[in-house]
A and B are shown apart, each in its own frame.
Chain A
């Protein structure tokens, strides 16, 4: 009986400690760190795989099967050609995925700063995001 009570008290202590630790910055920041690392690692891996797939398809079908040659496809044409399983479109979407990876990383950071209620850094993240979106909008014109 005494053993059980001691064990319950120990568990309660653990719960309190965990609850308390959850309120400090450190564990949340660790979560943010692992989320950011995940995005960086798998974003670059996925885009590399997509680019490699596209290149292999181009080579298998022969370079003559690539309409449009080496010029990049316009973004508004990309989805239509992707739906046709166009190898050049696949290659190019791999490149775009690579360019989007850092943007996903900012979004993840902004969300984790929001969970920490660290609004100053939420604003900073949104500011960086605004500069990049500004550059995309400017580029598309």
Chain B
């Protein structure tokens, strides 16, 4: 692929949108990057996932830094669960190599549908969550947490997303961690989890520098912009709109898998 100003600008814009929407709605940018790269830019899905993994590190780092500073991330719990997420991520990236483009696209559609449904449900109580204060908590069911984190790692390494859709409900509902802390801790783990599988994609040649670098630069800018805007805008309608876009992508990806048309 030849890098032109136009392509560069398009990829940076994609990154800015993904990073911005990601930080406004709280759902990772990785969920939009892969579908757009495959459906709009015609990039093979394995390469799109490799790019998405790098972008996920770029978008999570800034937010994770401020969560860590504000004592919202539970560093000890995060590091413990990372033992499982990294092993899962390595497994996921090895499984992805064996799957066809179509199989990966269908799996990705499941994830998009699930994440979209979660967002619609959560948008109703978005404000209640925002006012919740962090109270002392006791971590429950650590073995279950480790298994679930391993599964989240597999999803992350196989589909190139942060895996917050798995980890946040796991910590919040099963492990007795307050919602805010669960979100912040999930974000804290994303970088390390993504790095564990990104090196495997990189070595396989699925991290194409001329696609990854512009998108990652855009994502970094978008995430910074999004966190500034967050205090001013109400994100509820944005969440609903965004989840419908995700349903749309899910349908298109399934349709394309059964009718061909993915780039080789």
Q: Which residues of A contact B (CB under 8 A)?
A: 29, 32-34, 36-38, 40-41, 43-45, 47-48, 51-52, 54-55, 58-59, 63, 66, 69-73, 88, 91-92, 94-96, 98-103, 105-106, 109, 121, 124-125, 127-128, 131-132, 134-136, 138-140
Interface residue range, chain B:
35 or more
Quick check: is B233 within 8 A (CB to CB) of the other chain?
no
Tell me, in angstroms, the Cα distance from A38 to B68 when the chains sit together.
10
Cβ distance A69 to chain B, nearest Cβ, rounded Å: 8
Contact in complex: A70, B57 (CB < 8 Å): no
Quick check: is B65 within 8 A (CB to CB) of the other chain?
yes
Tell me, in angstroms, the Cα distance from A22 to B90 when the chains sit together.
39
Quick check: is B106 within 8 A (CB to CB) of the other chain?
no
Q: Which residues of A contact B241 (CB under 8 A)?
A: none
Q: Which residues of B contact A (CB under 8 A)?
A: 1-5, 8, 54, 57-58, 61-62, 64-66, 68-69, 71, 75-76, 79-80, 82-83, 86-87, 89-90, 191-192, 194-200, 202-205, 207-214, 216-217, 220-221
Contact in complex: A98, B62 (CB < 8 Å): no
Q: Which residues of A contact B5 (CB under 8 A)?
A: 59
Number of A-B residue pairs having CB atoms within 8 Å of each other in the complex: 159
Tell me, in angstroms, the Cα distance from A136 to B86 when the chains sit together.
12
Residue of A nearest to B90 (CB): A135
Q: Which residues of B contact A139 (CB under 8 A)?
A: 199-200, 202-204
Cβ distance B57 to chain A, nearest Cβ, rounded Å: 6
Contact in complex: A70, B1 (CB < 8 Å): yes
- For the complex of A and B, the 5 pairs showing the least CB-CB separation, nearest first, are A139-B203, A102-B191, A44-B61, A40-B65, A51-B213
Q: Which residues of B contact A95 (CB under 8 A)?
A: 54, 202, 207, 209, 212-213, 216
Contact in complex: B79, A44 (CB < 8 Å): no
Residue of B nearest to A50 (CB): B213
The listed residue (B200, B209, B211) touching A135 by CB distance below 8 A is: B200
Residue of B nearest to A96 (CB): B202
Contact in complex: A40, B61 (CB < 8 Å): yes
